[in-house]
Amino acid sequence: MKLGERLLKQLSKTYAPSQLVTFKFGRYDVATKTDEEGNPMLVFVGKADERGIIKGDQFNRRLLKDASGTVIKDHWDYNNGSSILEE
């Protein structure tokens, strides 16, 4: 699975720092964990069951900045399917 342009646009937003943020995106349930600056760094995309566990695909973000805070590298790496418990 690839992250589409619409989902990437949603993930380029800044959220609450160091939180688990969940939302619906089309037919998918999405959960993302943010870093201390509020950038999504880990995302789970799939279907949540009745207990709130999302089963599907996991992506890790590679976000590299220089000393002045300018983004040098920003891309998402796919990991094998996994699950996360929503809070």
Segment 22-73, tens digit of pLDDT: 999 999 999 999 999 999 999 999 999 888 888 899 999 999 989 998 889 9
pLDDT of residue 46: 93
59 or 79: which leads in pLDDT? 59
- CA–CA separation, 53 and 77 (whole Å): 21
Q: What is the DSSP letter of 54?
A: E
- pTM across the whole model: 0.83
Q: Is the pLDDT of residue 3 over 80?
A: yes
Strand order in the sheet with 28-34: 20-25, 28-34, 40-48, 53-65, 71-85
Question: Can you give the length of the chain in residues?
Answer: 87
pLDDT of residue 80: 73
Burial level of 68, CB count in 10 A (0-12/13-18/19+)? exposed
